[in-house]
Structure 1
Amino acid sequence: MQRRAFLLTVSAAALSGSLWQEAAMAAAGASPYGPLGPADANGVALPSGFTSRIVARSGRPVGGLLWHPAPDGGACFPDGTGWIYVSNSEIPLAGGASAIRFAADGSITRAYRILSGTNLNCAGGATPWGTWLSCEEIFRGKVYETDPYGARPAQPRNAMGRFKHEAAACDPDHRVVYLTEDEQDGCFYRFRPTTWGELSSGRLEVLCEGPVWREVPDPTPGVLQRQTRHQVSQALHFDGGEGCHYAGGVCYFTAKGDRKVWAYDARTGTLGSIYGGGGTLDGVDNITGTRAGDLYVAEDGGNMEINIITPDGVVAPVLRLDGHSRSEITGPAFSPDGSRLYFSSQRGTSGETAGTGGITYEVTGPFRR
C-alpha cells in the first residue's frame, strides 16, 4: 500500500526560523477495527474480535528466566515455524535485554538474556540481518548490537555515537540507520556504515537546516567535550526524540516534547510531521508499523493507549490499559505473520520501575496486514 505521501509536503522552503509550515495532518476518526470494548480480565480494552494474554511479569519466571524489570523497546524475529520477542530493560546499571521464544502455536518454549550489565536500555531497532540494536538512554550512551537467538555475544557499536540514545531504524534502501536522541534539544541522526550489514565503522551525520545531512565531527566525545548534538551549528533539534520506524522510503519518529510524529522522506529529502497532537493520541512514544501501511504509536502517559495512524490519515485507539496511570506503554512489535501484537506496561498498575511492576502482553486478532 502506498504510504502517506499526501502528508509529506514540508520541504526546505517551509522552514522559517524555528517554525515549520505544515500540511494537512492525521486526525481523530473511526478505527478500522471499531470502538474499544470494556476492559477484559487482563485490564486491556480491545475492539471486538481481539483477545489479550499476559506473557511475562517482571520478577516472575517465564521460559526458565526471571523476566526483567521495566520492559521497554522490543521487536520480533522469525525463528523457524515460531518467533522471538526481544525486550529491553530500562533500569540503571543492570539493564540489558531479554528474549522470549515462541513455538508455532504461540506457546512459550524458552526465555534468556541477550545483553547484560548495561545501563537504562530504552528503545532500539531490528536490523535486516537479524540483530537487535539495544540503545542506552544515558549521557554518552552506547548502541549494542545483540543476537536475538542467543548464539553470539553482544557488541558495542561506538561508531554510531555516544549520546542519550533512544531508538534506531534501519533503511536498507539507502543503507543507513536512523537514530533518535532523548534530550530537550536532541537531534535526529543517521549512521552510514562503511559496509552495509557491519556496524563497527562508518560516518555519523546529523539532520540540519535545509534539510541536509552534515557529518558529526566527533561521534564519541569525552565527558567534558562538546556533545554530538552541539557540534554542528546548523543541526535541527527535537524536543525529546522517542520511537523510530522506517518503511517505504520514509522514517517516522516521535518527539514527546511537542507530541508530534515526524516523517523524514529519504527519497525526496523532505521533513514534515504527520501528527501534531491535540487528538486521541497523547504522550507519543514507541512506534512500529505493518506491511499494510499502518503505524502504531504507543503512549507514555495520556490514557495509556496504542493508537493506529492509517495511510489515509485516521488516528484511533486500538487498545487501552486501564489502571496503569503511573506507567507507559513500551515495545510494540508484531509477530512475523502480523497476527499478534506484543507490548509492555513498563511499570504496570503498581508504578514500580525497578521491582515487579512490569507486564508484557500479547494481543491476537484480525490486524490489517
Structure 2
Amino acid sequence: MLRRTFVRSGALAALTGSLWRSACAAPAVPGAAPSPVSSSASPPVPSPTPTGDAVRGKGPYGALAKPDKNSIALAEGFTSRVVGRSGQRVGGLTWHPAPDGGACFADGDGWIYVSNSEVPVVGGVSALRFGPDGSIKTGYRILSGTDRNCAGGATPWNTWLSCEETVRGRVFECDPYGYRAAAPRLAMGRFKHEAAACDPDREVVYLTEDEPDGCFYRFRPEDWGDLTTGILEVMVGDGAGPVRWRRIPNPSASHEPTRDQVEGAIRFNGGEGCYYSGGFCYFTTKGDNRVWAYDAAARELSVLYDANAPLKGVDNVFVSRSGDLFVAEDGGNMEINIITADGVVAPFLRLVGHSRSEITGLAFAPEGDRLYFSSQRGTTGSNRSGVTYEVMGPFRA
C-alpha cells in the first residue's frame, strides 16, 4: 500500500480536490460505503436553557453504573475497551501522543477510525483499520509533519479535514484509506482552526476558530468536492438571531487576522467542536460553556445550551443516528453528555481519574453500535499518556 503522508510546502504529490473526489467515488476497498457516518434522524431543536430533567440528569440511557476496569462509568448494557495508548504499538503502528479529533469511515465490511495528534511540529493523523468483528487489522499514518492537529471533520467524499490549531493554522485534506498524500487547503483560511463540518445541502464547509474573540466561518468551494479554491466568509450579526455572511478579503491573513478583517463579525469565546446534521450546524464555545445551533436554511443562530450543569467544559460534538447530540467535556467531571430532541441533557459516560485531560475524537462506527473517543492526556496529564477507547452497546437507532 502506498502511503506518502509527509507534508512539505511546495513538494506535494497529491490529487486536487475534484480529482480526489472522482477517485474516491470508486471505493478504495470493495464494498465501501459512499460516505462517513451521519444521521438522518431529527436532531435537537434549538430551545432555551434546559431545565427540569435536564438539570437532574435523567437521560434515555439511565443512571451510570460504577466505573468498569477501564475507569469508565457507563449505563447498563454498555461495555468499553482500549484500542490505543500513546507510545504503544497497535496494528503495527505506534499510537500518537495527544489524540484529538476523529471520524469513522466505512471500509468494505469493516471501518476505519482516524485520529489527530495535537502536538507541535510532528502532529499529523493516524488511522486504525477494523475488521467486521471489531478486530484491529492495521494502523498507519495519513498525515505527518504538521502542527497541533486539533479537531476537523469528515467530508461526503470520504476524506478527513485535519485542522491545525495555531495562529496561522491550515486545513489539510487527508485520505483515510492511506493511498493518497494529504494536501493543504489554503483557500479555507489561515487562522487558529478547530473543527470543520460539511453542509452538502448548501455545499459549504463550516469552520470554528479557537480564539477568545474568534469567529465562525463558512467556505464556499468553486466546485463542491474540490476544496482547493473558493470563498471564505465570516458570520456577521448581533449574536443569536438572524445572521449574514460576508467575504474575508484576505484568507491568507498575511497582514491582518481573518477575524479582524470584516466589521460586524460575531465574536465567539473559544470555538470548539462543530457538526452538521438535519439542516443545523451545531458548535460549541468553551469560554462561555455554550452549545450553539445555526439554522442554515433560515440563517438564524440560536443558543441550544447555556448552563453550568450537567454539562460543563463543552468541546467536541457529534450527532448520532438517533438525532442525539453527544457533547464531550474538556475538564468538568470528564463526561460525554447527550442533548436529546426534547431538551434533556444528561451524562452518557464518565471517565474517572482523568481530571487533567479532556475528551476528544467522538465518532460512531458505520452501524452506529460503537462509539470511539479519546482521553487526550490520560490519567497523568501528559500528552504521552493519551488513551483511545471504544464503547459498545444498545445505542438508540
| Aligned pair partner of 1:279 in 309, 319, 325 | 309
* In 2: Cα distance, 1:172 partner to 1:368 partner: 25
Residue 43 of structure 2 corresponds to residue 3 of structure 1: yes
Q: Normalising by structure 2, report the TM-score.
A: 0.87
Identify the residue that residue 113 of structure 2 maps to in structure 1: 85
One-letter code aligned to 1:295: L
Match among 262, 266, 272 for residue 232 of structure 1: 262
TM-score relative to the length of structure 1: 0.93
Q: Check if 1:296 corresponds to 2:336.
A: no
Deviations 1:115-168 (A, max 9, x none): 000000000000000000000000110000000000000000000000000000
Match of 2:147 among 110, 114, 119: 119
Could you tell me which of 213, 218, 221 is aligned with 2:245? 213
Q: Which runs of 5+ in 1 are unaligned?
A: 8-22
- Does the aligned pair in 1 maintain the 2:161–2:173 contact within 8 Å? yes
Aligned length: 350
Instruction: Tell me by how many angstroms 1:279 deviates.
Output: 1.3
Contact 1:73–1:123 (8 Å) recurs in 2: yes
Distance 1:221 1:24 in 2: 36
Aligned-residue Cα RMSD (Å) equals: 1.0
Aligned 8 A contact 1:244 1:254 in 2: yes
Deviation by residue 1:47-75 (Cα, 9 ceiling, x = unmatched)? 00000000000000000000000000000
* Pair 1:66-2:98 in alignment: no
1:3 is displaced (CA, Å) by: 3.0
Find runs of 4+ consecutive structure 1 residues off by over 6 angstroms. none
* Richer in strand (by share): 1
Instruction: Give yes or no for the alignment of 1:252 onto 2:282.
Output: yes
1:4 deviates by 3.0
Q: Following the alignment from structure 2 to structure 1, what is the Cα–Cα distance between the partners of residues 46 and 79? A: 34
Structure 2: tracts of 5 or more residues without a match: 1-40
Report how far residue 35 of structure 1 moved: 0.4
Q: Matched residues, percent identical? A: 65
C-alpha displacement of 1:24: 4.9
**Mapping for residues 6-25 of structure 1, pairs under 5 Å:** 7=47, 23-25=48-50
Tell me by how many angstroms 1:277 deviates. 2.1
Aligned to 1:14: none
Contact 1:96/1:116, CA 8 A, preserved across alignment: yes
Q: Is the 8 A contact 1:25 1:273 kept in 2?
A: no
Partner-residue secondary structure (3-state), 1:363: strand
Distance 1:158 1:236 in 2: 23
3-state SS, counterpart of residue 37 of structure 1: coil
Instruction: Find the partner of 2:361 among 331, 335, 340.
Output: 331
Shift of 1:226: 1.1
1:221, CA displacement in angstroms?
A: 1.6
Secondary structure, aligned partner of 1:177: strand
1:171 maps to 2:203: no
Which amino acid is the alignment partner of residue 44 of structure 2? Answer: R
**1:292-342 alpha-carbon deviations (Å, 9 max, x no partner):** 110100000000000011111101111111000110000010001100000
- Most deviating of 46-55 and 209-218: 209-218
Aligned to 1:13: none
Q: Take 2:261 and 2:391, find their aligned partners in 1: how far apart are those partners?
A: 43
Q: Which amino acid in structure 1 is aligned with residue 110 of structure 2?
A: G
Give distance in 1, aligned partners of 2:264 and 2:208: 17
**1:362 Cα deviation (Å)?**
0.2
Report if the CA contact (8 A) 1:329-1:344 is conserved.
Answer: yes
Q: Is the 8 A contact 1:284 1:299 kept in 2?
A: yes
Aligned to 2:178: 150
**Alpha-carbon distance in 1 for matches of 2:340, 2:160:** 26
Hey, what's the Cα distance between the residues in 1 that align with 2:189 and 2:225? Answer: 17
